[in-house]
Amino acid sequence: MKKLFIIGMLISTVFALKYVDSVCATDEVSAGYVHIEIEDTYDFPYEEIEQNKEDFIEPIIGEVEYLPYTNEELELLAHLIFAEAGSDWCSDKMQQYTGSVVLNRMASMRFPNTMHDVIYQSGQYSVVRSGAINKTPNERAYNCARYLLENGSVLPSNVVFQSQHIQGDGIYEKVQNMYFCYKN
């Protein structure tokens, strides 16, 4: 079974019905993201969708109501933001971008789809290895995490890398000493 993640968009109903026998929402809906698993597909053209998104995806018109997030998600994201970008010299923008990378990874098929699994994925965040993630976040980190969980990522969805070195397919933006990079 393949997973198709839809964030703030819906696949055209006619298109979806052509290829999908049954669609069921999972119980892992959080942070304003709708995770949908597609079961029993009939040659579902994932590559074609990826290459021609404009033809298959329709934006949702109107306001999107975000589902509540868990306290665990708030704690995890605040801890990561504080550990990665919690110094006084780190800008609010850097903190928002840092948290947004986590949300973008959750939505990407290239990474795990839960916050815990994204943050604790082997080799991804040095603050996990060093133990810095266990430091108590300040109010600023909590406010940033809460904002992102209620409003979603402030970065384009393909910005999934954050490092002091260039990664992926290119640089979206450099904020202070941190590169935020995208993957096509």
- C-beta of residue 159 within 8 angstroms of C-beta of residue 100: yes
80-117 confidence digits (pLDDT tens) = 999 999 888 899 999 999 999 999 999 999 999 999 99
- Supply the pLDDT for residue 32: 42
Average pLDDT rounded to a whole number, residues 145-158: 94
- pLDDT the model gives residue 122: 94
Average pLDDT of span 68-87 = 93
Residues of the chain with CATH 1.10.10.2520: 71-182
* pLDDT at 46 exceeding the cut of 80: no
Average pLDDT of 3-29?
38
Report how far residue 175's alpha carbon sits from residue 122's, in angstroms, rounded to the nearest whole number: 25
Instruction: List, in sequence order, the alpha helices (H) in 31-91.
Output: 46-51, 53-56, 71-85
Architecture of domain 71-182: Orthogonal Bundle (1.10)
E strands within 8-106? 9-11, 20-25, 34-41, 57-59
Distances (CA, A) of 122 to 13, 83, 96, 129, 184: 38, 17, 23, 9, 22
